[in-house]
A and B are shown apart, each in its own frame.
Chain A
Amino acid sequence: MNWEALFASAIDGIMLGFIYGLAAMGLSLIFGVMRVINLAHGPIIALGMFSTYLLTTQLGLNPYVGVVLTLMFGLLFGIVMYLVAVHRVINQPELTTLLATFAVSLIIIGLGTAAFTTTPRALDVDVGTLQSGAVTILGTRIIAVLIALAVAGGLYGLLYRTRVGKSIRAVANNRAAAELMGINTTAMLAFSFGLGAALATTAGGLIATLFAFTILAGGSFELKSFVIVVLGGLGNPTGALIGGILLGLLEGVTTIFIPVGWVPVIEYVIFILILLVRPNGLLGARA
């Protein structure tokens, strides 16, 4: 047992967990407000990666300025996607909305592959490291955690401290009643979808500052988002953030104990166990 490696990995895992959590919050928010499972979540994360990449490499912007612009892009993209592909089927059974978002996912992947190919891209971001013994903390991860926290905090403030947030919560609670109270539910749903997509693209942008990626790279983060959402409770964005941190920690720590190839197995075993024992998630309301 190497305690230093274990400690270093726990920190690495927790920090990455914030980004997992941010991505999962997007998925969870959309489901919480409109009961739509967004299967285009992964490709939207990948769009965030490419948006940040292009802003940085083509326009010469600072990558973190790129991430902020990517957030705006995600918001717009989500609103447009909602109005074009989701709104018409919003009252249909869940399978229909699932298929609609899956179609968007295929369109993004198809166009993205044609435009960018599947050659991996990477951003060369270097903001120094903090080193102490075997523990090396990367500056890029610290900044990523700070941005993730700021965005999560901003979302919380928006949902619980503003009128728009109140409207969104009202729509989530009871759409018909909200409409009767004079709330423009279509606008709120579109805005919520935009927020969900913005969280996904922001997470994608941050991931782009850490790892190499391709247009298909959103897939593994989408899968992790589903696990996290189940862990934290469907429709509960705070739970998603905490779930993300837990998953990151789990990945970091188990890597030290077992062959690294077994880590995903452990992850999904835990996923199934939670579904069996607490189907509403660790932080979800009890059934």
Chain B
Amino acid sequence: MSRSIARYAGLGLMLALFVLLVAACATPPPPPPTPATSAPQPPAATSAPAGGATKPIVIGFTASQTGNLNVESKKQTQGLQLWLDDVKKAGGIKLSDGTVVMPEIKFYDDESKTDRVQALYTKLINEDKVDFLISPYSSGLTKAAAVVSEQNDKVMLTTGAADDKTMEQGFKGTYQLYTPASRYLAGAIDLLKKLEPNAKKIAIVNEKDSFSTTVANEAKAYATAQGFEVVLAEGYDTGTTDFAPFINKIAAANPDAIMGGGHFQDGTTFAKQLYEKKVPVKMIALLVAPADAKFTEIGAGAEGVIAPSQWETPVTYSPESAKAANLPWYGPTVSAFVDGYKAKYNEAPSYHAAGGYAAGLLLQKALEDANSTDAAKVKAALDTLNLLTFYGQIKFSTDAKTHGKQAGHTMVYIQWQKGADGKLAKQIVFPLEAKTADAQARQ
């Protein structure tokens, strides 16, 4: 008897495991995902000015709540949510006819997977009837979302996506907030020229994904144009864990600087091993990984490493700098954003978070300029935008082929430097007008 009970229990466990397995492996369309809508505030009549109608709009997107992009995606979503809070606190977006536009967000978990993104953006457009779209995090996912958005004539602001090719398809309603990948390392090459006038040879290595490859190819062309010799240019496989043999090969090419990288894990290991192997280069500039605070866990290996970043908390954009650049200023100041973010999430905002907030902010500005929620009018407003925000300058390309591609925003370059207290601190070293410390060549 007890044997048969054990048998049934065993079967039950197996069944439970199997159900779990099927649930986890289900390919799209999966069982209807639970929408993670932000608590929809009832269109507050109290916050609308007397006589003005309240018009709710829904902004849809997917977030990678699970899978390998969850960290960055979460920060991006948090940034956007902070923007939503700020808009609601201000009583909505007011149009000149007294209408108050009250945004709401609706998002699903895309599990960091392209096929989920395609299915969910279709659902957001066709079933949820969202008014405007924001991209998921990462170039890969955004590429998939943009296709769906364009097919359905939607307006989508992309953030967390820097790929150039996506934005060179003659899109009509997709607008990019990030500085495109092609311009990621140009500043580092300029900096090398200033810092080490005798440096002649650069090794460019990159992860073989779409984003890093674009960065590397453009960097190679730019470096050559600037008179450098590219002594080694190779891509490594995504998922590479050990760089020791590759570093031996790079060292044999005798470069003055090493530039490239890919994402978090590979970039961190690569920097660690370059240090351990004592490769004698003047500059190491890597994508993505060094911008994260966890990068310093590799200790001395982090010192001196330079990375491009879309945005950092010490940036010096301000209403005054807008005036100096003859641009209109819009939105909160850098410190207002940073303080608001810290108050809500108990951590300093990363550039992903800033990008998320900026996406909402730019949509808000476009709605105000368009004085309407009509998609065509909002597109026209986005096309003419050229302004400075806490996130930097924003201007979209209006060229037919590259329509919507970011043309105003520039990268800042950070370097991990040892402070007086012996601890590593992130400093902005380039562009010179935004620097918080002088760049240091590696010893």
A: which residues have CB within 8 A of B?
2, 4-5, 8-9, 12-13, 16, 85, 88-89, 96, 99-100, 102-103, 106-107, 110, 113, 117-124, 126, 129, 131, 134, 136, 138, 140, 207, 210-214, 216-217, 219-221, 251-253, 255-256, 259-261, 263-264
Contacts and interface: CB of A to CB of B under 8 A. Distances in A.
Contact of A16 (B242, B251, B299, B301): B242
B124 to A, nearest CB: 24
B242 A251 contact: yes
B14 A89 contact: yes
Given A100-B14, A121-B294, A263 B237 contact: yes
B294 A256 contact: no
Given A119-B292, A124-B299, A260 B20 contact: no
12 contacts: A8-B248, A12-B245, A12-B248, A16-B242, A89-B10, A117-B71, A118-B67, A121-B297, A124-B299, A252-B244, A260-B245, A260-B249
Contact of B252 (A12, A102, A134): A134
B245 A13 contact: yes
A118 B68 contact: yes
B258 to A, nearest CB: 14
Contacts, number: 152
A110 B20 CA distance: 12
A277 B24 CA distance: 36
A212 B272 contact: yes
Nearest to A3: B252
A96 B251 contact: no
Given A5-B252, A251-B242, A261 B265 contact: no
A119 B294 contact: yes
Given A117-B70, A120-B265, A126 B299 contact: yes
Contacts of B240: 260
Contacts of A207: 241
B239 interface: yes
Given A106-B20, A260-B249, A221 B265 contact: no
A113 B65 CA distance: 10
A111 to B, nearest CB: 12
10 closest residue pairs by CB, A with B? A124-B299, A212-B268, A9-B245, A12-B244, A255-B245, A88-B10, A103-B17, A5-B252, A2-B252, A120-B265
Tell me whether chain A's interface is mostly helix, strand or loop, or mixed. helix
A264 B294 CA distance: 28
Given A122-B272, A214-B265, A220-B241, A102 B297 contact: no
A140 B299 CA distance: 15
Interface string B280-293: 00000000010010
Contact of B244 (A16, A106, A216, A220): A16
Contact of B71 (A85, A119, A219): A119
Contact of A124 (B242, B244, B297): B297
Query: Quick one: which of A85, A123, A211 has the most chain B CB within 10 A?
Result: A211
Contacts of A106: 20-21, 24
Contacts of A253: 245
A255 B277 contact: no
Interface string B63-96: 0001111110010000000000000000000000
B279 to A, nearest CB: 9
B249 A255 contact: yes
Contacts of A13: 244-245
Contacts of B297: 121-124, 212
A211 B251 contact: no
Given A211-B241, A214-B265, 17 more contacts: A5-B251, A12-B245, A100-B17, A103-B17, A110-B24, A122-B269, A122-B272, A122-B298, A126-B300, A138-B244, A140-B276, A207-B241, A211-B269, A212-B297, A217-B265, A252-B245, A260-B240
